[in-house]
Structure 1
């Protein structure tokens, strides 16, 4: 359990990856199952935006999913340790979030949907992981640490706040701040408006090339947070296609570094959490990396950017 080895520090919770690795991997598989349910029913959206989850005041949610003439929503409630399924006809079901195998979680949620009259088809294997155990057969991942997962959710809340403010400076096409269950990362992406070269085949385990081709069909600058890549997780930012000189551009703060194997700038979560002003430190990272991508990529910044408070003076 992480409770005895980690601590919460203000708005930026501290959580070492080694203290919740098993619970993290189990939660990852659970979010994949819920995300695939949304994928089956939500209408397509560019760059696969229809598949993501969203940070809520209690956890992670699918948001409203259309179904026949009604709708439903699935939410991980990390406060009350429940997974709630709510339907527009007033019916609902709940699952307890506790230590249980992925196979049991899969059976429970599919059973609950069936009781509610919601019929779902999915490819019952995880994506973007090297070991893709079919959900009905996965008895390996079976840990739930409520304390650690609440800390992780607190990290998502803080990252979401800063990503949202960063997004407000851009008036071109930009994604919501959303949670991609494939890699288990919170992300926000800006687009130049120009088409991008076709993404190379392969490179992402257990993910069809058609998915990456759509995700990277437009020139972009993306940032995110994921529970990996450092002692307490990490922030990242990258550009596709990567413009010449991007890797050598100065990105702040000094603790940020370019990882050539991944093709992205990274900043350890612990650097942000320990800073005198964590929000400002992360914002500096996001803005300076975006400027590198936009300047070197010759984006039309005058058209794509704006002071987020400009309408207050009209």
Structure 2
């Protein structure tokens, strides 16, 4: 089932129907993201590690190495992981049901054939069960149609979040895909520092959270959880007093952030307007309650 508005499609994908594929794809994106991280210069808040939606799937974008640049793209249309270098080299890895250990080995072999030998930490982050990639034979499912539907969900989320991003002229992140939590995220900053983050994310050093949350922020995103078909989220760090009361219509006390199930967006009369209302309302609560200089930060 799909919903249309202004000739744009909002795909429907129940999380329960693709959980095993989701978990395998999560590990695959971690491998590719760590390869990007091995070569990219560091950028504040870990913006150098992310992936980006494309017309075919998810990409590292151009990554520098000693002979030029390379990129890696999950092509969900042709079901291939495409690795390309600026000197004309290319290799593909087939996206099909296979263990994470096999995908990891095949990807490293394809990179080595192109003269690339990244040094990565070969264990996943931000998951409770962190099986080393080379030993992970547990996650082995891959449903190509489910992966394509999820990618198309990301495209819709990115499109609306990019429109929302255009309304802010202060420091802000790109709309990008973090492979640690498997979410598409966008973050705005007030310009002020923030108290040190307490950490506590599974299999993730506290220093990662310290850098990611070094400054006061309002963050927004989409991930394949939190609702029957995934969910949009919003939160403020540090959370200002009164935030949960002002955002009561969305605030999830268990997650301690605002949540808007994807299905509520897709089924609404105007999905774009429904999502924008959520983004603007949660941002407005964070900015007003923390006394951001909105006149200077907003377009």
TM-score, length basis structure 1: 0.93
The answer (yes or no) to whether the contact 1:76–1:84 under 8 Å persists in 2 is yes
Verify: 1:98 aligned to 2:91, yes or no. Answer: no
The CA deviation at 1:22 is: 0.4
Aligned-pair CA distance for 1:130: 0.2
Give the alignment partner of residue 207 of structure 2, picking from 203, 206, 210: 210
Structure 1 residue aligned with 2:268: 275
CA distance in 1, matches of 2:117, 2:97: 26
- For structure 1, which runs of at least 5 residues remain unmatched after alignment? 1-6, 307-314
8 Å Cα contact 1:8/1:151 also seen in 2: no
Match of 2:254 among 232, 243, 261: 261
What secondary structure sits across from 1:200 in the alignment?
coil
Structure 2: gaps spanning 5 or more residues:
none
Match of 1:171 in 2: 169
> SS in structure 2 opposite 1:103?
helix
Deviation per residue, 1:159-204 (Å, 9 max, x gap):
0000000000000000000000000000000000000011013x20
Q: Distance in 1 between matches of 2:242 and 2:171?
A: 24
Q: 2:17 maps to which residue?
A: 19
Q: What's 1:117 paired with?
A: 115
Return the alpha-carbon distance in structure 2 between the equivalents of residues 75 and 261 of structure 1.
35
1:68 is displaced (CA, Å) by 1.0
Equivalence for 1:310:
none
Q: Which residue does 2:296 correspond to in 1?
A: 303
1:165-244 matched pairs, under 5 angstroms: 165-201=163-199, 203-244=200-241
Taking structure 2 as the reference length, what is the TM-score of the superposition?
0.97
Question: In the comparison of the two structures, how many residue pairs are matched?
Answer: 295
Post-superposition shift, 1:97?
0.7
Q: Deviations over 1:112-171 (max 9, x none)?
A: 111110111111111000000100000000011011111101100000000000000000
SS of equivalent residue, structure 2 residue 195: coil
Runs of 4+ in 1 over 3 A off after TM superposition: 7-10
Determine helix, strand or coil for the equivalent of 2:91.
Answer: strand
RMSD: 0.9
